[in-house]
Structure 1
Amino acid sequence: MADFRILHIDSSARRGVSGEQRHGSHSRRLTRRFVERWLAARPEDELVYRDVGGQPPSPVDHDWIAAAFTPPEARGADAKARLLESDRLTAELLAADLIVIGAPMYNFGVPAQLKAWIDNVVRVGLTFGFDRAREGEPYWPMLPEGKRLVILSARGDHGYDPGGRLEASNLVEAGIRVPMAYIGLTQSHGLAIEYDEFADQRLAGSIAAAEEGVDRLVDRLLAAG
């Protein structure tokens, strides 16, 4: 078994990769580049791939909530069955050292299928603890320390980065980083392609800059050990 594990998640509803298929996904393009460059340098590392864009997790519902907040020893067969998918997704996250998420911007936030994944892995008793009788903060993160998160996004407009004209409208990175930090994943990095809806030289320049940024990020993370 590999000593280092990568969890690669794509969430775009677009099936293809930009530059190869018409209307292909920019975020899939970036995540693939990141993972391929990483594995070229460290082929012994283990890769787990999860395409939530193509196979969305089931959204949280009443039965899920009831099962998740029932102590494990008290869960019946139906409750255990309802949590099986969440158990698998959470186990993948817990086992990973590096989580690479492709997260295109849909109406200023993350795709619904990625939000469903987040809701399935933010699990009381598994990824965060809660005790109303605990002094001070009743919630605490349960993910092991040292995990790193990379968010690779794509946007139709431009100016969503810090200091940009649309910074306040960017709910993508925060929509991932906040719940992930809540469960203990606090080391994060991000890059994005912009100008998708313009489809001109500005888009081409943004793609080139993002790909160069991915390469530098991989090299920096590898150098950091």
Structure 2
Amino acid sequence: MNILQVNSSARTEGSHSTALAARLVERLREARPDARLVVRDLSRRPHPALDEAALQALFTPEDARTPEQARRVAMDDALIEEIQGADVVVLAVPMYNFGVPAALKNWIDAISRARVTFRYTEHGPEGLLTGKKVYVVLTRGGQYRDTPADTQVPYLRMVLAFLGMTDVEFIYAEGLALGAEAEREAIAAARARIDAITEPLAV
């Protein structure tokens, strides 16, 4: 089993989303000691945004690209290879201003490539990243689950499904900014949920 962990917090240290995602990966590896892990930490290795230069590089035929364009496309290629090779994907996603971190959006833009990770057919778009289990660890300062303010879950569910990833489990740690006791309870609840999800895998 190949596991891909994607950390999108802006924090290099002390991130709740990263810590909970690492706990989930730890439990998965306890169940499958032979699992191979790749960690893509977007705070330590930020991926560039999709800008005009990147678009020009992507739409230039491979044999006509400049060395700079080839390097830019290769950066996206590396992320695509990671997601293509993963059986399990663990996304660590804090909420920033009611949305996903810009770093995660850059990652999503990089892995979303027509004719590679999705394609258009006469029956509509078809995702090509199929057969993967995705866990999304969500951390929020307030309480947003199942409210109109939660734009993260609908967006992630939609974009992951567009790419072919429909087996998605969301794990919540909410109320982290509502005081020390609320923070402790939220982290404990998320850890308990992680344990409950992963316990059957050890059987």
TM-score bucket of the superposed structures, by smaller chain = over 0.9
Give the match for residue 45 of structure 2. Answer: 55
Give the match for residue 84 of structure 2. Answer: 94
Where in structure 2 are the equivalents of 1:1-225 lying within 5 Å?
A: 4-16=1-13, 24-72=14-62, 75-130=65-120, 134-137=121-124, 139-143=125-129, 145-158=130-143, 160-162=144-146, 167-220=147-200, 222=201
- CA-to-partner distance for each residue in 1:133-192, whole Å, 9 max, x for gaps? x5342x32122x31011100110111x222xxxx11112223322211111111100111
In structure 2, the residue corresponding to 1:191 is in which secondary structure? strand
Distance 2:180 2:34 in 1: 39
In structure 1, the residue corresponding to 2:43 is in which secondary structure? coil
Aligned amino acid, residue 170 of structure 1: D
- Given that residues 38 and 218 in structure 1 are in contact (C-alpha distance below 8 angstroms), is that contact kept between their aligned partners in structure 2? yes
Q: How far off is 1:8 after superposition?
A: 0.6
Structure 1 stretches of 5 or more lacking a match? 17-23
Aligned amino acid, residue 58 of structure 1: P
Structure 2 stretches of 5 or more lacking a match? none
Aligned amino acid, residue 30 of structure 1: L
Aligned amino acid, residue 36 of structure 1: E
Distance 1:168 1:117 in 2: 25
Distance 1:69 1:140 in 2: 21
In structure 2, the residue corresponding to 1:80 is in which secondary structure? helix
Matched residues, number:
203
